Chains A and B, each alone.
Chain A
Amino acid sequence: MSADNKPASSRAGMKKQLPEKFINYKHVWVFVELERGEVHPVSWELLGEGRKLADKLGVQLAGVVMGPPAATTRAAVEGSYRYGADTVYLMEDPLLTDYRNEPFTKAMTDLVNTYQPEILLLGATTLGRDLAGSVATTLATGLTADCTELAIDDEGSLAATRPTFGGSLLCTIHTLNFRPQMATIRPRVMAMPEGKDGEVSGGLIEVPLNMKEDDVITKILDFIADNTTNKAQLAYADVVVAGGMGLGKPENFKLVKDLAEVLGAEYGGSRPLVQKGWIDSDRQIGQTGKTIRPKLYIAAGISGAIQHRVGVEGADLILAINTDPNAPIMDFAHLAIIGDAMTILPALTEAFRKRLSVNRMAG
């Protein structure tokens, strides 16, 4: 994508001129990601966001559920109503038991071509990104990835905002003259909506997949579950401690882990640390890593590029530890300690340890 300095009005294709065939495309759809019987929470976050878009447009919100004939698939339908869908498009078929690109792409493109939504949102998970690219290309429509903000503009078009140029700036992208307008959003970027209490219901449109196993070339031989004991659970953690290049050397990352341990917190780092191999990629915090929404986020030696900022902005309280009082992180952190992480981190660890120590003799 190239963004030059010409004003918007001088560029070809900047006007909304929707071709005749797309005029009747209506309603907002959210792909409900169901894998091994569980719905990925990003689907509910997107239904919450989709609700706002649908309300602004005065149209319906629909969930798209694809899965095997099973109680868990029906539970995903019910969950969709609970989190705001007016209606659900359901494809139930044994071929949709485990994710493969071919049947899921056929399922989604068939549904879109038949029922014609104006907006289609998917979570930017490994599944969502694998699916979105092939669906958008098959439909020859626009797809904006990893959006941090969605809105409807005055002409009823989806305005999708995301970081650009390695995270130095934000840009707002439209798919003006093609439908559906597709966007992927990372988990935790949007807030989890309040689910409705009690019994829920809505419209249901069941559609057959019309595909045979023999038509599908890729076969699943096995699924090897992760050993979750040491796995990062950053996305849903209440307290997160992270380190950046200001730490100086990989050995100093231990100071981050020590503080995290005292706080019972998750730990992570900025993108350069992952690229240098100091930490695993599943501990990367930032737009292309994990987006976090903790109550407390402590960032040591992190300068605060947009790429990192959009991954942590949802935190209730951000404490930045940095020797530079003018680092970009100071623009969005709430509290700052101007100092060297190498001395501040151990001091914080010790101080928290004392403050939080409990006399276990108490009943």
Chain B
Amino acid sequence: MHIVVCIKQVPDSAQIRVHPVTNTIMRQGVPTIINPYDLFSLEEALRLRDAFGGKVTVLTMGPPMAEDSLRKALGIGADDAVLLTDRFFAGSDTLATSFALATAIQKIMETEPVDMVFAGKQTIDGDTAQVGPGICCRLGMQQLTYVQKVESVDPAKREIVVHRRSEGGVQVLKTSLPCMITMLEGTNQIRYGTMDDMFRAARADVRVWSAAAAGIEDMTRCGLRGSPTVVKKVFAPKARAQKARPVDGEGAEALAAAAIEAIFASQPKLESDLLKQSAGY
């Protein structure tokens, strides 16, 4: 079984700060991480490889430093890695990104078949959840998002059964390979690599592909030119004219009492609703 896992190197958004004067993102010095949602998909792919034999290839589209993420993934246990990097990709939105990644996966398929593609549910910097479905659609694979559990795989029949999170419950779906899966967070726990994995990761040859090497011929479908969506404005939210009014009081009891007075003064109906509720009506 050959599984391709798409990952993305993202800034650790918990540590991003906005410059207080220029209102721009201060990117210097913000550490990068593998998009946390990707790790659940990577772990599931590794588990399937362990169960059925085969190989996991990690693929990412990014600037040259994205190679760090691929090496981290190799250190966790992935077998092979491909870095798709080219200045033509700059400014890609999700449509242009799925185009590039899908083309690269088709390139991989020229030398070895691909049975499944895994991607993260969404990224912490873009949050769109669109690239996985976009890749799936372009490759004509079966789309399985929000997967909570891979119930079974039958490599001979080329069938897979999954539990997919839906509103109000779980769908049990059966489909054929090849398929694209995004895993829900919290469904597994990413493993630590073995010492062998880490040595291998340090020495591994990561394949580095330009757009041309990946088989992309039409550069107008990449980067800014290949992106139907355009960011016209980036701005800080307007601060409300009045900041929050601090309540007065010495000590927790006094502060609590003052807060409750203020709440009910501004929302008298709330007090009567809560009293009714408390009385059991």
Residues on A facing B (Cβ under 8 Å): 1-3, 5, 8, 11-14, 35-36, 40, 98-101, 105, 125-127, 129-130, 132-134, 136-138, 140-146, 159, 162-178, 217-226, 228, 238-239, 263-264, 272, 274-275, 277, 281, 287-288, 295-296, 306, 309, 316-320, 325, 329-339, 343-344, 346-348, 350-352, 355-358, 360
**Shortest CB distance B258–A (Å):** 8
Docked CA distance A339–B166 (Å):
40
A residues within 8 A CB of B225? 12-13
* Residue pair A133, B267 in contact (C-beta under 8 Å): no
B residues within 8 A CB of A105? 137
B residues within 8 A CB of A40? 167
Since A133-B130, A317-B267 are in contact, a sample of 19 more A-B pairs with Cβ atoms closer than 8 Å, ordered by chain A residue number, is: A132-B130, A140-B228, A141-B95, A159-B232, A164-B234, A166-B13, A168-B16, A168-B18, A218-B173, A281-B185, A288-B122, A296-B263, A306-B237, A334-B245, A335-B259, A344-B252, A348-B256, A351-B256, A356-B274
A residues within 8 A CB of B163? 224
Which residues of B220-239 are within 8 A (CB) of A?
224-225, 227-237, 239
Contact with A along B248-272 (1 / 0, CB 8 A): 0000110111011011001100100
A residues within 8 A CB of B270? 238-239, 295-296, 317
Residues on B facing A (Cβ under 8 Å): 11, 13-14, 16-18, 22-25, 36, 90-95, 98, 122, 124-134, 136-138, 142-146, 161, 163, 165-176, 185-186, 224-225, 227-237, 239-240, 243-247, 252-253, 255-257, 259-260, 262-263, 266-267, 270, 273-275, 277-279
* Residue pair B25, A168 in contact (C-beta under 8 Å): yes
A residues within 8 A CB of B129? 129, 133, 145
Docked CA distance A275–B36 (Å):
9
* Residue pair B128, A145 in contact (C-beta under 8 Å): yes
**Shortest CB distance A72–B (Å):** 15
Closest 6 CB pairs of A and B: A166-B13, A133-B133, A142-B228, A347-B252, A145-B128, A333-B244
Chain A residue nearest to B10 in the complex (CB): A166
Known: A127-B166, A175-B229. Contact between A138 and B173, CB under 8 A? no
Q: Give the most central of B36, B231, B279: most A CB within 10 Å.
A: B231
Interchain Cβ contacts under 8 Å between A and B, 29 examples: A11-B224, A130-B133, A133-B130, A133-B133, A134-B133, A136-B134, A140-B95, A145-B128, A145-B129, A164-B231, A168-B18, A174-B229, A220-B171, A221-B174, A223-B172, A274-B185, A275-B36, A288-B122, A296-B263, A330-B244, A334-B266, A335-B245, A337-B246, A339-B252, A347-B255, A348-B260, A352-B260, A356-B278, A360-B279
B residues within 8 A CB of A218? 142, 144, 173-175
Which residue of the partner chain, among B98, B174, B275, B279, contacts A137 with CB atoms under 8 Å?
B98
Known: A218-B174, A336-B247. Contact between A169 and B230, CB under 8 A? no
B residues within 8 A CB of A360? 279
B residues within 8 A CB of A228? 168
**Shortest CB distance B82–A (Å):** 21
Known: A168-B18, A218-B142. Contact between A142 and B167, CB under 8 A? no
* Residue pair A358, B130 in contact (C-beta under 8 Å): no
* Residue pair B263, A2 in contact (C-beta under 8 Å): no
Which residue of the partner chain, among B131, B233, B260, contacts A355 with CB atoms under 8 Å?
B260
Which residue of the partner chain, among A2, A99, A143, contacts B90 with CB atoms under 8 Å?
A2
Chain A residue nearest to B161 in the complex (CB): A221
* Residue pair B130, A171 in contact (C-beta under 8 Å): no
* Residue pair A336, B246 in contact (C-beta under 8 Å): yes
